[in-house]
Structure 1
C-alpha cells in the first residue's frame, strides 16, 4: 500500500462510513459522482496530504473495530446477570451510538456533508 495515496478499499470504506452509496463504475459519463457533495467527496479522496492520510488510516482502523461492536454484543444477549457482573442493557445502543459518533468525526475531518444514507437512517430510527 502506497503511503501517499489511499487504496481503493480505503476509499470504499470511507464512502461507506460517511453514508455514501457504492460508486460502481466511475467511467460512466454523466455519473452521479459529479453532482455537488458526491464530487466534493471524490475530489477529497484523491487529494489528501500524507499527514491527512495517516490520520484517516487511524480513523479507519478505529471504525473497523467499532463496526464489529453491535454484532459482538449478541454474545451477551442471553445473560442479564452473572455472579457480580451485570449486563449493560444499553450495550447495543451504546455501541451503535459510539460507532455513529466516530463516523461523524470522519465526515467532519474530511470536510464533507454526510451522505444520503444518513437521512434514511434517521427516517428508519424514527419509525
Structure 2
C-alpha cells in the first residue's frame, strides 16, 4: 500500500507540473482570466494532495483500514475534483462545455474532505 501511495503521489505531482505548464503557456492564449484561474485551482489542489500523499506514504504504515480509505479518498478526490475542472474549462473554451462534469467537481471536493477526516482520525489513533 505504501508503494501504491507513493506511486500515485509521483504521478499526480508530475502531472500537476505538466498541467501547470500547459495552462501557463498554451491555454493562456485560449482561456479567459476566469477560466485560467479555475484551471490553476485544479492544478493547485492536485499538487497539494500529491504532496500530502507523499507525506502519508512516508509516515504511515497504511495497514489500518482507515489509513487505506484515507489514501483512496485523496486519490479519488483529486481525480474527480481536478480532472473535472480541467474538462469543464477546456470544453468551455472550445464552446462545447461538458456540463455533466459540473456535479462531479463538488463530489471530488467531498472525497478530499473525507480524506482529511481520515487523516485526522489516523493521527489521533497513532500509538506513541
Q: TM-score range by the shorter chain?
A: 0.3 to 0.5
TM-score by length of structure 1 reads 0.42
TM-score by length of structure 2 reads 0.42
Q: Which is higher, the Rg of structure 1 or of structure 2?
A: 1
The structure that is helix-richer by fraction is 2
